[in-house]
Amino acid sequence: MAPSSGGLLLVGCGKMGGALLAGWIAGPAAPRPVVIVEPSRESVAPFAGKPGIQCYASAAEVPADWQPDVIVFATKPQVMDAVAPAYRRHAERGALAISVAAGKTIAYFAGHLGGSAAIVRTMPNTPAQVGRGVTVCCANAKVSAAQRGLTEVLLKAVGEVGWVEDEALIDAVTAVSGSGPAYVFLLAECMHRAGVEAGLPDELAAQLARATVAGAGELLHRSAESAATLRQNVTSPNGTTAAALAVLMAPDGLQPLMSRAVAAAQRRSRELAG
């Protein structure tokens, strides 16, 4: 049965698309109907058959007389050239287009969806999979205040939301928060390895590193204090933490290393965006 007009069209139901969909289903303001276009049966299996959700393997299968309020593009960037043009008809009839595809600009989508398309480019990150993501958005001039509000409702289902008016800042956002979870995971890896080098059994070192990074992140999340204040709170003068921080906060320590890493990611984001 064809869905009634309105609702949401999700193009791609991989890790990020699936995380978004799970958040929408669990939230109080779930869009209905939700139509998923995803060729992988395995990806849509957790959602198939749920009330208000319909799944199709391709855009050609979506009922021609159905008009969504919003299209969320969550496919991999490298296949977007083949995917996006099929949804131009929806965009030209007023559907908001939201992209979570890294590196694809507003101008890129306007080229595929038409010059009148309302487009929001976003950069989410993988903690969205556990409802703790952060997504930064940038809208073109065609996006109405109501559509901005709809974007926030949809993305807050998986975490925090911020906005930038200058699309060029999305490259910096990508470098800090989009790639940022990998930096934190690397920190846990390094702490694990350092623990083994200090004499701890491998399994215990891994447990300590994992629990410490996760616990510190949760404390930072819950606390109203800044990261700097929390760091100071756990640092006794002339103690063990102070000895370690003297290394990490040295002129050649963690800050200049992190700054170079973020700059490298920002440059690469610009290259990928063309």
What pLDDT digit, counting tens, does each position of 147-160 carry? 999 999 999 999 99
Distance, CA of 216 to CA of 194 (rounded, Å): 18
pLDDT for 1: 53
Higher pLDDT, 1 or 187: 187
**pLDDT of 29 above 80:** no
**pLDDT of 249 above 70:** yes
Q: Where are the alpha helices (DSSP H) in 9-84?
A: 15-26, 41-44, 80-83
- State the pTM of this model: 0.92
Q: Ramachandran region of residue 18, left (φ > 0), alpha (ψ -120 to 50) or beta?
A: alpha
What beta strand segments (E) does the chain contain? 8-11, 34-37, 53-56, 70-73, 96-99, 119-123, 133-139, 159-163
Which residue ranges form the domains of the chain, and what is each CATH number?
8-172 (3.40.50.720), 178-273 (1.10.3730.10)
- Copy the structure tokens of residue 29: 């303001």
Q: Quickly state the pLDDT bin for 27 (edges 50, 70, 90).
A: confident
- Copy the structure tokens of residue 112: 């595929």
**149-171 burial: b if 16+ Cβ within 10 Å, else e:** ebbbbbbbbbbebeebeeeeebb
pLDDT for 31: 79
* Number of C-beta neighbours around residue 123 at 10 A: 28
Average pLDDT estimate for 257-273: 93
pLDDT for 26: 83
Helix or strand run (H / E) with residue 212: helix 202-222
Q: Quickly state the pLDDT bin for 6 (edges 50, 70, 90).
A: confident
- Map residue 73 onto helix, strand or coil: strand
